[in-house]
Amino acid sequence: MKEQPIGIFDSGVGGLTVAHAIKQILPGESLIYFGDTAHLPYGDKSAESIRYYSQRITEFLLEHNSKVVLIACNSASASAFDSLKKEFEGKTILIDVINPVVNYLSTRNFNKIGVIGTKRTISSGTYEQKIKQKSPLTTVISLATPLLVPMIEEGFIFDDISNAIIRTYLTNESLSGIQALILGCTHYPIIKNQISKIFNFNIEVIDSARIVSMILREVLDKNNLLNDTGNVKDQFFISDYTTYFEKIARMFFEGEINLKKADIWS
């Protein structure tokens, strides 16, 4: 069991930010990553569709012997975490990306925080509800920033186009006076520096990658599942081939990666 991989999924490259943080914190673990590029972006899809995709992908990751399944996508965490927990109870350990961030926030004393994410994540109200339960005095401003995922997936990252889009969204009046900003989409850490710059590096910009990796370490440790065998093998699957996925994956994981197309939708 210990040698089995950690299953991770997202709609595309976003979950690679989480996968990358896991490799830094848990270098002895093997990963099996699934990017559902055929259905990207999830942020525009209905909650029902995302639940259906997430269920099938979780099955795929379990068929490939994942010892844990990490939902490295906020849109799927907001729409499908509860239904996946019911469906796969007793079959695997499931971890989402929203609860760990909300728990981290409850250890900080922010008066006003912002959350940016896809239309699906923001319209679900999940962050706001969960934060309010733990920190009722915190004001939470939620803002959908739907152009950011297609922009990143198309490779517009450090140029005039990306700067103009990021600036237009983040100078929104409602965000003035925030002390922290949650990057409520796992794609956004790729542009974290440009986002921090808009706020003159004066606020805490919180991304889930590191926070979730620490929780994963705790969970593996508690269940005696940490891989101490020294055998590590990472695998990457996508549901539709995109050169950009490969490029970004190589950037994160330096060099050759084992990337395959998995036809789980046909």
Residues noted as catalytic: 73, 185
Based on its alpha-carbon atoms, the radius of gyration of the chain, rounded to whole angstroms, reads 18
The DSSP result for the chain, as a single string, is: -TTSPEEEEESSSTHHHHHHHHHHH-TT--EEEEE-GGG--GGGS-HHHHHHHHHHHHHHHHHTT-SEEEE--HHHHHHHHHHHHHHTTTT-EEE-SSHHHHHHHTTS--SEEEEEE-HHHHHHTHHHHHHHHH-TT-EEEEEE-TTHHHHHHTT--SSHHHHHHHHHHHT-GGGTT-SEEEEESTTGGGGHHHHHHHTTT-SEEE-HHHHHHHHHHHHHHHTT----S-----EEEESS--HHHHHHHHHHHTS---EEE-----
CA distance 195 to 188: 9
CA distance 64 to 9: 13
- CA triple 47-252-150, angle to 5 deg: 40
The residues that touch ligand DGL, with contacts defined as CB under 6 A, are: 10-12, 14, 40-43, 73-75, 118, 121, 149, 185-187
Helices 243-253 and 15-25 pack at an angle, to 10 degrees, of 20
CA distance 53 to 42: 10
- Closest CB to ligand DGL among 74 and 162? 74
